[in-house]
Structure 1
Amino acid sequence: RQTYDPAEQYKMNHRRRGVALIFNHEHFYWQLMLPERRGTSADRHNLKRSLTDLGFEVRDFENLRADDVLQKVHEGRR
């Protein structure tokens, strides 16, 4: 398993920055009995705009189940 090295930086000096995945969860599976997270759409919008301005290809997803999140992460690694 890899560990994060805080001294390591993401290289930002190339034209193609990569893919940024945003997972926005406002509504949860009802059996979890978790409250809605109001305001997350504005957060998602602001984050998407910032990452796009930095040159990332942004893919955002809404209210995915855990297995769907894992699938999107796997797809994003390609």
Structure 2
Amino acid sequence: MNGIDYFKRAAELAERAARCSGHAEDNIALAAAAQTFATLALAAATADATAFKRQLARANGVEPSAPSSIDPAAFAAAYLD
């Protein structure tokens, strides 16, 4: 699984937990599973943010944009003066 897959699974489990009218233990288990998958999605995004952004764009049917380069001197001049 990649970050997008973890995120989708977390969202699915959270929705099921919200709809579940059964036992409290079932809701807790679903919510805990959703949290676990959300944590894995965050870890995947943190581990490789650029790849995660590309996967997210492609999953939404959008062509990912090219990475931008930042001139450190221009950045420092704009924000540190």
Q: What TM bracket, shorter-length normalisation?
A: 0.3 to 0.5
Q: What is the TM-score with the length of structure 2 in the denominator? A: 0.33
Larger radius of gyration: 2
Calculate the TM-score normalised by the size of structure 1. Answer: 0.34
Name whichever structure is richer in helix by fraction. Answer: 2
* Higher-RCO chain (CA-CA 8 Å, sequence separation at least 6): 1
Higher normalized strand content (fraction of residues): 1
